[in-house]
Amino acid sequence: MSPHRKPRTRVTVTAVDDHPIVVEGLASLMSRAPRADWLDGLVAATRENSPELVWLGQSKTLADLLQRLEEWETPPDVVLYDLFLNDGSDPADGIAVLAAKGVRVVILTSEVRPVPIRRAIQAGATGLVLKSDDVEKILDVVRAAALGHFAVSSDLAFVLATDDTLAPHLAPRELEVLQLLAEGVARKSVGNRLDPPVKLATVVTYLNRICKRYQDMGRDVKTTQDAIRAAVENGYFDMPGSPGPQ
């Protein structure tokens, strides 16, 4: 750290999460978090006394949070962002909007499927905490994110955030076909539902490619139902009518 630059003494934090219990617990801990040395693995400049965490409250929807951002004179340093808000918003889109505003976003989730987490990080998230992890570790991640460091709250979070081999990369058209089949659309009709439409042979080609990608990763995916099940398990989409992780 430059001798002319003062260390950060406070970090303002808010959350967008429609499940208050977890966030209320974090807020309570923030109010009494000790200002002790933290995250020894970071560069020497960060081995100062930890900054005070200032809680700014919680929003239940992305729209509510964006409205509050317009009202605040200074945006928060860190936003804890739940991946399942039940408000119709896409988490990756919301994170991208916040990142464009210069707000650090830390994913706060019970999700342990790799694809939603991968999408959120690609959208600009600067940290990942799992709701089941130790709260002190979660606060460490918040402080690290405020300083511009990517951090995670556990070994599992690290794997989910960094291991690109947990799920294959499926093309948008392949996913569109798989989702239509999951919704009950007959295979012979799927091609007509695409824009532009494609022939049945092309739909079959997409399905074969999906199965091959999973097989290359050692997954026993041979049928359409196998492919749908694998995609759901990876978090590419949820089955119609099924709730996401809380």
pLDDT, tens digit, 9 for 90 and up, residues 217-235: 999 999 999 999 999 999 9
Higher confidence at residue 44 or residue 130? 130
Q: pLDDT (tens digit, 9 = 90+) per residue, 61-116?
A: 999 999 999 999 999 999 999 999 989 999 999 999 999 999 999 999 999 999 99
Q: pLDDT (tens digit, 9 = 90+) per residue, 163-172?
A: 999 999 999 9
Say how far apart CA 188 and CA 195 lie, in whole Å: 15
Q: Which residues contact 204 (CB under 8 A, 6 or more apart)?
A: 187
Q: Would the pLDDT of 2 be above 50? A: no
Q: What is the pLDDT of residue 207?
A: 98
pLDDT band of residue 240 (cuts 50, 70, 90) is: confident
In terms of Cα–Cα distance, which of 205, 200, 175, 198 is closest to 186? 200
Q: Which residues contact 104 (CB under 8 A, 6 or more apart)?
A: 77, 78, 79, 126, 127, 145, 146, 148
Q: Which residues contact 128 (CB under 8 A, 6 or more apart)?
A: 106, 107, 109, 117, 120, 121, 141, 152, 153, 157, 160, 161
**Exposed, middle or buried by CB within 10 Å (0-12, 13-18, 19+), for 34?**
exposed
Q: Would the pLDDT of 213 be above 90? A: yes
Q: What is the pTM of this model?
A: 0.85
pLDDT band of residue 49 (cuts 50, 70, 90) is: low
Q: Which residues contact 164 (CB under 8 A, 6 or more apart)?
A: 118
Q: Are 122 and 164 in contact (CB under 8 A)?
A: no
Name the fold adopted by 172-234: Arc Repressor Mutant, subunit A (1.10.10)
Q: pLDDT (tens digit, 9 = 90+) per residue, 20-36?
A: 777 787 788 777 655 44
**CATH number for region 10-162:** 3.40.50.2300
Q: Hey, where are the domains in the chain?
A: 10-162, 172-234
